[in-house]
Amino acid sequence: MTRREAVKAAEVRLAASGVEEAEITAKYLFYFVTGLGQADLLFDGGLPFQEKQQAYFDKLVEERAKRIPLQYLTGMQEFMGLEFFVTPDVLIPRQDTERLVEEVLSCCSEKSVLDLCTGSGCIIISLAKFGNLTYACGCDLSEGALAVAKKNAKHCGVLVEFLQGDLFEPVNKTFDIIVSNPPYIKSEEIETLMPEVRCHEPRMALDGMADGLYFYKKIIAEASKYLKLGGQLFFEIGSRQAAEVTELLLGGGFGGIKVTKDYAGLDRVISAKKDNQK
């Protein structure tokens, strides 16, 4: 089978399995396996596929046809211009979350930052890379996620302390900024998500319990104890959660609340300041 025939067969297989952008995915897997580029496939697509490479390519195509996310197959995902290792222990970094990082970057220079539910570490590592922080800390309950985060910090050349525990449980310092992209999908809605998400990404990184607000409530209830006076709290939120999270923040004694939209025009980030009198 030629390279071109193999890629076309992969495209047909992926499309039949309901994979979106089957043609792009087939080509991407070809480039990943062979190390070749678009020009090679265009001009040398009639050359035979090396046997070992085709076997690996076919294996990845079959796994992708089972709706395993592409990023778990390649082991990498770009975020904020950096390359992050990803495994099924961590949520795959999304472009929407870059808005959260951008908002924190606008005010974090020479400050300390705590990232709760750090997962792959993409948020705190990006902030440590670009934000001129005095101290960076990421916390997660999952041992597997922290192993990935530590690997990513080393790969990106930044110094981040990682702690294992349930939210603030292992934290014994105060911070200028606390940031979190917590699980915020309602439990009943998880079954409506694409197979790539509901079947393969870690449920503990998705499930915000019955109302999707469980972790916002827990973090807001304790955040003041771990924020310095005038400190700031940043969350990623679901596109329909701004009003509810705003109410929780006001009830928790926070002010200066700001909601920021993502590049699709949807509410995506909410921030608030600790009352200096609290």
- Average pLDDT along the chain, 278 residues, taken 10 residues at a time: 90 96 95 87 79 94 97 97 97 96 97 98 98 98 97 98 97 97 94 93 92 97 94 96 96 95 96 75
- Please state, in angstroms and rounded to a whole number, the distance separating the CA atoms of residues 14 and 200: 17
> Does the reported pTM lie above 0.75?
yes
- Please state, in angstroms and rounded to a whole number, the distance separating the CA atoms of residues 163 and 66: 34
pLDDT score, position 43: 76
- Please state, in angstroms and rounded to a whole number, the distance separating the CA atoms of residues 140 and 159: 17
pLDDT score, position 47: 82
- Please state, in angstroms and rounded to a whole number, the distance separating the CA atoms of residues 84 and 87: 10
pLDDT score, position 278: 44
260: β partners: 269
pLDDT score, position 50: 86
pLDDT score, position 85: 98
Pinpoint the alpha helices (H) of 117-259: 122-130, 143-156, 195-198, 214-226, 242-251
- Please state, in angstroms and rounded to a whole number, the distance separating the CA atoms of residues 163 and 146: 8
pLDDT score, position 276: 56
- Please state, in angstroms and rounded to a whole number, the distance separating the CA atoms of residues 263 and 255: 25
CATH 3.40.50.261 fits 74-274, yes or no: no
